[in-house]
Every structure is written in structure tokens, then in C-alpha cells.
Structure 1
Amino acid sequence: MIGLGAVGAFLAVDLGAVAYANRWIGSDGTRKVFLDGFRTVNGPQLGFRKNHAKGVVVTGYFESNGNAQDLSRAAVFRPGQVPVVGRFSLSGGDAHAPDTPGAARGLGLAFGFPGRAQWRTAMLNLPVFPDNSPRGFYDRLLASKIVPGTGQPDPAATKAFLAAHPETAAAMAIIKKHPPTTGFGDSTFRSLNTFYFVDHADVRTPVRWSLVPQQNTAPSPKPGDTNGLFDALIRQLQGGPLRWHLLITIAEPGDPLTDATVGWPADRRSIDIGLLTLTGVATEAPGNARDINFDPLTLPDGIEPSDDPLLSARSDIYAASYRQRTGEPKSPSAVQVTEVGA
């Protein structure tokens, strides 16, 4: 219940995103270009997020062990518990698309109490991100448009995109070497972008973070279940809490800080800074995480963004998407928790 009590308060904070999105859209129209691109590829999808449209809400808590306090003054890292509201999702803008094992799995989390040391993060189960620039993401989005009658993107468009973006071709080769796990519950989720932890002396340490599952397995999706990955997650959570260790990895000189397509060497120092425990799951609905904007730049004092260009772009586009979908008519989520049996 610790997470459920905080959900409504998060929504009030998100109203500020509407004003921010208004200013943003009124500048150069770049945000509108992205939203139009999502609509071109996925259709209207009224009332849903324009990417990672399909999802399910989770609640729980984070228990810090205090190991991050030497690197960050953020209150969330003091020993003790804070509530967490989150959302598991699959990449793509079709809110009713059948689950596919190869789709990137997302986990958005909001830590703490709104307006007081709030921290939001949006992570993926990938080892690296496919793009290192907003333009690269946009070009990949358009190249992914399905050709009617084939069920696949246009091979010529894909070839041309990869030729123009060798960084994505290299990232995709890395991603292919790390096949996804069975489900959400046994997936590792990563920030992929670099941030800075800032201590009480204003010393900044570049870090990336990851959530490493304590459970080693997840139930397999049932054959023929179009919501197989989500339904398996729901059944797993109905059987008891799921837990992930939160690890931070510290960069060394020369490690890329502004290119999410490049991973850091495996020998970099990592520190376990606490345990995420998820205890509840719910269908997306008014008053829960359906209406939370998991803006990666909603950061508490003690965490700062790097100069990675994806961070500001993600923040701006998330805000514009939030503004747009809050003004659209709503439809039921494809994932209905109460309909999932053991």
C-alpha cells in the first residue's frame, strides 16, 4: 500500500508538464514533428502514450542501503524506504499490438513523494540504446513503418537508414548478442544515458544505473495470448513481490558520457545501492501511473543530467506527448489485470 497512497499526488505535479509542453511546442515545432511521426507510423492511438503505448501499472517501494550517500546527496539514497509508482511497457506506439518477445521492454519509475526529492527514471532492458541523437531516433521511427500486406518495414527504407546511421547499425549488433529473457520479471533494466551523482561538496561523478532482478526466472507467456508478456508478469506478481537490486556503475576517464549507443567496459566499478520491491499491479486507469509522465529530467537535488542530447529531447517529447494524450478521449487498456487468472 505504500505505493498506492502516493499515486494521486504524482498526478498533480504532472500538470506542470502541460505548461512546459506549451512553451516547447511554441518554439520551433520540433516536438510536433515527432508527434506527427508517431502518428504517421502508428495511427492516432488516442489517449495513449505515443511510444511505449502498451503497459501495466505497478506499485511498491525502494529501500536504500545508504551506499550511495558518499556520491550523492539525494534524499532518496538515505537509508530507509520511499514509495515507488511504476509502469512496465513494450516499445512501439500501438497500444493494442500483440506482445512480441523481441520488443524492447520498458520500466518507468517515480521514487519518493511528489514535490519532495522526487526522482523519475525510464529504463530499457537493452544493453545499449539504438540511437545517439534525436534525429537518429526520428529517422529510425519513420523507417520502421509497416508496409501494408507484408507486416514488415520496407527493406529499402531500413537499408537506407542503417547506411545513414552506422552508430545504430553497430548498436543493433550489440543488442542482437544479448537476447531478451523470458519475461519482465527476470529482465535487467538500464538507464543507458549517463547522469551525474553530486555529493555535498558538489563533486560530480558520472554514472549509469541498472536494476538487476533478484528472481532468476519468469513464467513463459501462454501460446496464443496476445498479452502474453504482460499476463505472465501479472501472474508472477499475484504470487508475491518481485525485487531488483539497484546498481550504479561509475565511469572512468575516456568512457563515453554523451553516446548511449556505446556501453562501458564490463570491469567498471558497480555499487549496489538498494532494493526495489514491487508488490502491486493494476490496469492503467485514471488516478494511477497511466497519467504519470516518466520524465528522465525530473531529478532530485543530488542527481544531474549529462550533456547527452537524448535526455533533453526525451524530456521535451514526453511533455508534448503528455499534453496531447491528456486532451484526447480515453479507451480501455489492452491489458486488464482482473481478467488474468493464475
Structure 2
Amino acid sequence: MIKPLYAALAAALLAGPSYGAEGNVSPVQMISAMEDAFGVHPGQRRNHIKGSCALGSFKGLAAGASYSRSALFSGQAIPVVARFSLGGGNPAAKDADKGVRGMALEFKLPGGALQHMTMINVPVFGAAKPQTFYDLLLALKPDPDTQRPDPAKVKAFVDSHPDFQAMAAFTQSHNPPASYANSPYYSLHAFQFLDKDNQATLVRWHFSPQDGEKPLTDAEREQAPANFLEQALIDRAAKGPVNWDMYLTLGQPGDPDNDPSHPWPQDRQQVKVGTLSITQAMAQDQGNCGPINFDPMVVADGIAVTDDPVLRARSAAYALSFGKRLSGQ
């Protein structure tokens, strides 16, 4: 059943809309470029391939309920399946390499509804439109002779894509975290929160670690083993809950709702709306996160997506990657 299902999915995506600013980047093209850049690892994710699973719960505050009628903010403990990961499609990436770290959450709401939040630890994304991310992947394709990206092509990409430069500057100037537990995670995209009267509030959100932010020092980066983040999270969770506080940033008129590369002004009001608690962590082949497609457009009542082309392109590409993964490709 899996292969026919994937074939139908691929056909639908091929026939469906494209998502580039010029209308010329399809999900199939995006995933193909990702495979060219990172190689194909059958049965695995095309991006954020290296990761770990975790389990926990989320408890919302009444402050959140004033902006959204979502069951997230009922005050009840909501079960969560989480996945922590490194950006990119290289399963042998070193945990101390500079770059993004991800936290993806699936909230299991009463009545069987699901809410996803798929975030990274950089406060701004490196693409205002899908075309930019696609062009990055093309630039990262290894040279046949060196088996490494051509530095000239990468530089040409950076120089010609100003919407990528803020994220590049951030990742180059910040060392990665010593633990997944010592990193914040950001929604990047704007969403609409809908209250009980259907009044909408434009928001972005982030999760702030109660353990505090702790980047690796330069010396620690040099000495770190290739794989330490998973065991560090497992060990930390064994000592007690690992907590992050969820904060909303409230948008104001004129704040962009469709450009994750554009930060909102720093004076925007922030509201604490709940706490995520991770109580158990494990390898992804031992946990419940492996089979999940953490599509960021999976939202439940009380939260609505915006007309963000990057968000929509992510969702479509995730679906295609998920189908390939299910079929063992």
C-alpha cells in the first residue's frame, strides 16, 4: 500500500501549484535539489535528518487563552511528542558544527486534534521566498571533483540574496548550544491566534529554556565528540523535567505576516503563555517521533496560518519527503 500511496502523492504534488516567487519552484524540484546537495539516505528525512525523540507535556496559561481559544491554553496538561535535530541532510554531521538546531512538537489535543510547531534556534529565517532556499540548495551541490560545495558558487549565492544574509550572519557569529536543553527555539513564521469571539491577533512565538542559554565555547567546539547532543538530552531528562517557557510576540499593524526573513521590531510586546516540559528523551529509532511528519501547517482550532509562501512551500516539501521516507526511498 505504501508505494501506490507515494505514487499518488507525488503525482498530486507534480500537478499542484508551485511556490517560487516567480512561480517556478515545485515541491519535487525542492526535494530533488535537497537530494543533490546532501545525497539520498533511503527511508530518512531529506532535511534535519539527524535527530532525537522526546516525550513530555505542555501546560498553557490563562494569558494564552485571552488570545486563542486553542485547547493548548485550557490549563490542562497536553501530551507532546518532540523531535530535536540538526539542520541539513547529512546524517554524519558533527554536533558542534555551526548551523541551526531544530525543535519540532506534536501536541495531542483532546478529541484527537493535532497541533504542530516546527521551530529552529535562529530568530530569523534565511529566505523571504522559496526561490531563495532553492537557490541555496543549488549552490550547495557538491562539485564532482572535490565532492564539496564550490566556494565561489556559495559566495555568489550569498552576495545575490540579501534575504539570506541575516540568518547567515547569526549562525556564523553564534556557537551552537552545549545541549538541546540550552537553546531557545523560534516559530519564524507569523500565525493568527483566534479567540473565543473569533478576534484575530498576529503573533510569532518562541520557547525560552529554563535551563538557560549556553553555547559551546570555541575550545569546547574543537574538543567535542561528533555525537553528544542526543546523550546530553537523555541524561538531562533523566534528572528531571527539561522546561521551556512559551512566549508570544504580538504583532502590530505593518508588521509583515508573510516574510520570515524580516524580524519584527524589538519593542513588540511579549506574553508568557505556557510551559513545555520534556520528561524523557531517546534515539529517534526508539521513540514515537520517527513516523511523524512535523508539517508546520498542521494547526488546530484557535490557530490559523498566514499567507506566507515559505511556510506553504515547507508544508508541500515536507509532504513529498514524508512520502518518500514511508516508501523507503
The answer on whether the counterparts of 2:177 and 2:215 sit within 8 Å (CA) in structure 1 is no
The C-alpha deviation readout for 1:60-111, integer Å capped at 9, x for no partner, is 0001122111111111211111100010000010123222341200000001
Secondary structure class of the residue paired with 1:281: strand
The answer on whether the counterparts of 1:54 and 1:90 sit within 8 Å (CA) in structure 2 is yes
Instruction: Give the letter for the 2:68 counterpart.
Output: S
Q: 1:241 to 1:148 in 2, by over 3 A?
A: farther
Give TM-score scaled by structure 2 length: 0.87
Secondary structure class of the residue paired with 1:209: strand
Matches within 5 A, 1:1-342: 22-27=11-16, 30-113=26-109, 116-147=112-143, 153-216=149-212, 223=223, 225-285=225-285, 288-328=288-328
Q: Identify the range of structure 1 (26-35 vs 239-248) with the bigger mean alpha-carbon deviation.
A: 26-35
Instruction: Give aligned pairs, total.
Output: 314
Q: Identify the range of structure 1 (185-194 vs 26-35) with the bigger mean alpha-carbon deviation.
A: 26-35
Secondary structure class of the residue paired with 2:64: coil
Q: CA–CA distance in 1 between the matches of 2:304 and 2:53?
A: 27
Q: CA–CA distance in 1 between the matches of 2:238 and 2:7?
A: 35
The answer on whether the counterparts of 1:171 and 1:262 sit within 8 Å (CA) in structure 2 is no
The answer on whether the counterparts of 1:211 and 1:244 sit within 8 Å (CA) in structure 2 is yes
Q: CA–CA distance in 1 between the matches of 2:192 and 2:6?
A: 23
Q: CA–CA distance in 1 between the matches of 2:235 and 2:147?
A: 30
Secondary structure class of the residue paired with 2:51: strand
The answer on whether the counterparts of 2:60 and 2:273 sit within 8 Å (CA) in structure 1 is yes
Secondary structure class of the residue paired with 2:180: coil
The answer on whether the counterparts of 1:184 and 1:233 sit within 8 Å (CA) in structure 2 is yes
Q: 1:285 to 1:297 in 2, by over 3 A?
A: same
The C-alpha deviation readout for 1:281-301, integer Å capped at 9, x for no partner, is 122227711010111110011
The C-alpha deviation readout for 1:200-226, integer Å capped at 9, x for no partner, is 222111100100000126696793521
Q: 1:114 to 1:292 in 2, by over 3 A?
A: farther
The answer on whether the counterparts of 2:6 and 2:327 sit within 8 Å (CA) in structure 1 is no
Secondary structure class of the residue paired with 2:320: helix
Q: 1:98 to 1:148 in 2, by over 3 A?
A: farther
The answer on whether the counterparts of 1:237 and 1:280 sit within 8 Å (CA) in structure 2 is yes
Q: CA–CA distance in 1 between the matches of 2:93 and 2:256?
A: 35
Q: CA–CA distance in 1 between the matches of 2:204 and 2:105?
A: 15
* Identity rate, percent: 37
What is the Cα deviation at residue 164 of structure 1?
2.3
What is the Cα deviation at residue 254 of structure 1?
1.9
The C-alpha deviation readout for 1:171-190, integer Å capped at 9, x for no partner, is 42355455443321110000
Q: CA–CA distance in 1 between the matches of 2:94 and 2:259?
A: 31
Q: 1:243 to 1:133 in 2, by over 3 A?
A: same
The answer on whether the counterparts of 1:258 and 1:309 sit within 8 Å (CA) in structure 2 is yes
Task: Give the CA RMSD over aligned residues.
Answer: 2.5
Q: 1:56 to 1:287 in 2, by over 3 A?
A: closer
The answer on whether the counterparts of 2:234 and 2:280 sit within 8 Å (CA) in structure 1 is no
The answer on whether the counterparts of 2:230 and 2:282 sit within 8 Å (CA) in structure 1 is no
Q: Identify the range of structure 1 (181-190 vs 84-93) with the bigger mean alpha-carbon deviation.
A: 181-190
What is the Cα deviation at residue 114 of structure 1?
8.0
The answer on whether the counterparts of 2:6 and 2:324 sit within 8 Å (CA) in structure 1 is no
Q: CA–CA distance in 2 between the matches of 1:210 and 1:101?
A: 23
Instruction: Give the letter for the 2:16 counterpart.
Output: S
Q: 1:248 to 1:304 in 2, by over 3 A?
A: same
The answer on whether the counterparts of 1:247 and 1:270 sit within 8 Å (CA) in structure 2 is yes
Secondary structure class of the residue paired with 1:289: coil
The C-alpha deviation readout for 1:253-297, integer Å capped at 9, x for no partner, is 222221111111222111111110001112222771101011111
Gaps of at least 5 residues in structure 1 are 1-15, 330-342
Q: CA–CA distance in 1 between the matches of 2:124 and 2:34?
A: 22
The answer on whether the counterparts of 1:74 and 1:117 sit within 8 Å (CA) in structure 2 is no
